[in-house]
């Protein structure tokens, strides 16, 4: 326990000194700390991960996804140009669904991305419910092939949280 306390103490001291120096230098310190691979490079194949079973929301301290999206007051005009597009329409099914079981369905907090049966042939397709987007930009950062193009929606549409 003493070793743990000492380690935490020294780690905090180093962080404090480095942060103070960075602020003093206005962010122009002569080094850059790296933190390994980019977020979109760090997904593991679904086959190497055990499935996670989440408990159902209880409506008291946990809530279903769409009621949480409703609380954001999100709105986009129905006829505006799409602010979420794909660079290559084949990548979601051929790569993301095949290798990662569709991570878009999990990293998007607003249920924008859904894999649904493809009526035009093939098994599945990615459906983008852009109307629900709450502008967190997670998809822009986390999509494994950087295939999602996120642009600012027309007219500043999007979330309008009450009291913010
Ligand atoms: S920015 Fe991307 S991840 Fe975030 S809510 Fe919109 S579609 Fe989902």
For residue 80, the model assigns a pLDDT of 86
Angstrom distance (rounded) from CA 73 to CA 96: 30
Angstrom distance (rounded) from CA 42 to CA 142: 9
Angstrom distance (rounded) from CA 97 to CA 126: 9
Angstrom distance (rounded) from CA 77 to CA 69: 16
Exposed, middle or buried: residue 45 (CB in 10 Å: 0-12, 13-18, 19+)? Answer: exposed
- Using the structure block, give the residue that is written with the tokens 């084949």: 90
pLDDT tens across the length of the chain (164 residues): 667 788 888 888 988 998 898 899 888 888 888 888 999 999 999 999 999 898 999 999 999 998 999 989 988 888 888 999 999 999 999 999 999 999 999 999 999 999 999 988 778 999 999 989 999 999 999 999 999 999 998 887 788 887 76
For residue 48, the model assigns a pLDDT of 97
Pocket residue to mutate for ligand 1, from 68, 83, 108, most atoms within 8 A of Cβ:
108
Parallel/antiparallel/unpaired status of strands 148-150 and 124-128: unpaired
Structural domain boundaries in the chain: 42-49+56-156
Pocket residue to mutate for ligand 1, from 137, 141, 147, 148, most atoms within 8 A of Cβ:
137
Reported CATH class of domain 42-49+56-156: alpha beta
């Amino acid at each position: 326990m003493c070793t743990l306390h000492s380690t935490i103490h020294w780690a905090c001291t180093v962080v404090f000194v480095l942060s103070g120096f960075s602020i003093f230098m206005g962010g122009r310190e002569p080094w850059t700390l790296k933190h390994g691979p980019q977020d979109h490079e760090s997904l593991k194949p679904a086959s190497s991960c055990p499935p996670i079973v989440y408990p159902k929301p209880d409506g008291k301290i946990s809530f279903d996804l769409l009621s949480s999206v409703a609380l954001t007051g999100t709105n986009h005009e129905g006829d505006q140009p799409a602010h979420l597009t794909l660079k290559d329409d084949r990548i979601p099914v051929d790569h993301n669904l095949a290798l990662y079981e569709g991570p878009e369905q999990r990293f998007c907090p607003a249920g924008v991305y859904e894999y649904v049966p493809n009526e035009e042939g093939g098994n599945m397709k990615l459906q983008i419910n852009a109307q629900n987007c709450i502008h967190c930009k997670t998809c822009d950062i986390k999509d494994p092939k950087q295939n999602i193009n996120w642009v600012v929606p027309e007219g500043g549409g999007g979330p309008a949280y009450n009291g913010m």
